[in-house]
Amino acid sequence: MNQRFIYSLLIGAIVLLGSALKPHLVEPTLKSAYKDYFPIGVAVGPRNLVGPEAELILRQFNSLTAENAMKMGPIHPEENTYYWKDADAIVDFAQKHGMKVRGHNLCWHQQTPKWLFTDAEGKTVSKEVLLKRLKDHITEVVTRYKGKIYQWDVVNEAIDDNAQKFLRDSPWSQICGEEFIAKAFEYAHEADPNAQLVYNDYNTERPSKRDRIYQLLKKLVDAKVPIHGVGLQGHWSIYEPGELALEAAIDKFSSLGLKVQITELDVSVYPAEQGGRRDKRPDESDAFTPEMAQKQEEQYRNVFRIFREKKQEITGVTFWNVSDKHSWLDSHPVAGRKNYPLLFDANLKPKKAYYEVVKF
C-alpha cells in the first residue's frame, strides 16, 4: 500500500466518523431537548408570528399561549361583541405548524371588560347575572376553540397575597363569594369535556400562598369539580424560589392528583417587589451585571433539573415572552427599567442560560 492510499483511507474514515457524530454536534433546541419530557411553550401576540421571531418560535417551541388575546377584556370588549382576530391568528398559526395551544384565561380580576360587573344604569349586577355572564363568556370562547386548545387556565389568581386573607378581594369574590371558581370550571367542562382545566397563580412556592392555594384546590377536588391541573406561573427571579421551595410546591399540589404546569416562566434579574408600578426611574444600580447573568444561569439550570426530575408531575413549561427584546418586565414594576428574564437576548441569540437548559 502506498502512502497516498493510506492517506486517503484515513481521510475517508475521518469523514465517515464526522458524519456519524454530526447529529450529536447539532445544537439541541428547547423542543428537541425536552421531547421526552414535556412541551415547551411561549406566550405570544400576533406581532411575534412574523419575521425572525416567528422563525425562532418555530425552531424552539411546540406550544403557544396568547399573551393577551384571549383575556376577557380583549376578546369580549362589549356584552354582545367578541373580538376574535388576534386569538384566531394565534390558534391558526399553531394549527398550521402542528403546535399545541394553552388557553389563557377564562376568569381573572384584571383586564376585565367595563360592562362585566355593572348593568345599564351603572349599578353592580347580582350574583345570578354575573354567573350567567361568566357562563355565556366561557361557553362561547371554549366552544370556538374546542379541539384546538388542549388546556385552559380557567381561573387566574383568585388567592390573596396577604397571609391573613384567603380569597382575593375582587368584584368576582364580592359579588359571588367563592362560588365563581367552581362554576367557572363547570362551565368550561360543559363546553369542552376533553379540555384539561387548570387553576393558575403566582408566588405558588411561597409557603403561605402555596398552602392557601392548596386549601382551595383541595376543596375543589373533594367537591368533584372538574379540575385537572395547577399552573405555577413561574414569574421568578435570580433570588427565588430556592430548590427546596420549588420541589415542595410541586409535590404538595400533585399530591392532590393534579398535574402541574409551569405556565408563565421568566427569571427576573431584580428582586420581586410588592405592589404595582413604582415611580423610581431606572438608574445605574439597575445594570445587568455578569454576576446577575451567572445567577440567572444557575437558576435556569436548577429549575429545569427539577422539572426533569419531576416529569411525572409536570406536563408543560411555557415561557412568558420570546426574548429579552421585549418582556412585560421591561415596564413592571419599574416604568422604563429594562429586564433580561428570558433565554434569548435582545438580538434573539441564545444566552448562556439557554445552554444550561438544553445541555444535560
Is residue 205 classed exposed, middle or buried when 0-12, 13-18 and 19+ CB atoms within 10 A define those classes?
A: buried
CA distance 199 to 80: 27
Of 62 and 327, which has the nearer Cβ to ligand GLA? 327
Q: In the complex, what is the shortest distance from the CB of residue 15 to ligand GLA, in angstroms, rounded to a whole number?
A: 50
Q: Is 297 a catalytic residue?
A: no
Q: In the complex, what is the shortest distance from the CB of residue 103 to ligand GLA, in angstroms, rounded to a whole number?
A: 12
Q: In the complex, what is the shortest distance from the CB of residue 230 to ligand GLA, in angstroms, rounded to a whole number?
A: 13
Q: In the complex, what is the shortest distance from the CB of residue 157 to ligand GLA, in angstroms, rounded to a whole number?
A: 6
Q: Is 237 helix (H, G, I), strand (E, B) or coil?
A: strand
Contact set with ligand GLA (CB under 6 A): 104, 156, 202, 233, 235, 264, 328
Of 156 and 170, which has the nearer Cβ to ligand GLA? 156
Q: Which residue is nearest to ligand GLA (CB)?
A: 328
Question: What does the CA dihedral 248, 254, 258, 260 come to, rounded to 10 degrees?
Answer: 50
Catalytic residue among 53, 67, 205, 264: 264
Chain position carrying cell 415611580: 279
Chain position carrying cell 349599578: 123
DSSP per-residue string spanning 38-96:
--EEEEE-GGGGSHHHHHHHHHH-SEEEESSTTSHHHH--BTTB---HHHHHHHHHHHH
Of 76 and 235, which has the nearer Cβ to ligand GLA? 235
Of 234 and 297, which has the nearer Cβ to ligand GLA? 234
Q: What share of the chain is helix, strand, coil (3-state, %, to 5)?
A: 45, 20, 40
Catalytically active residues are 264
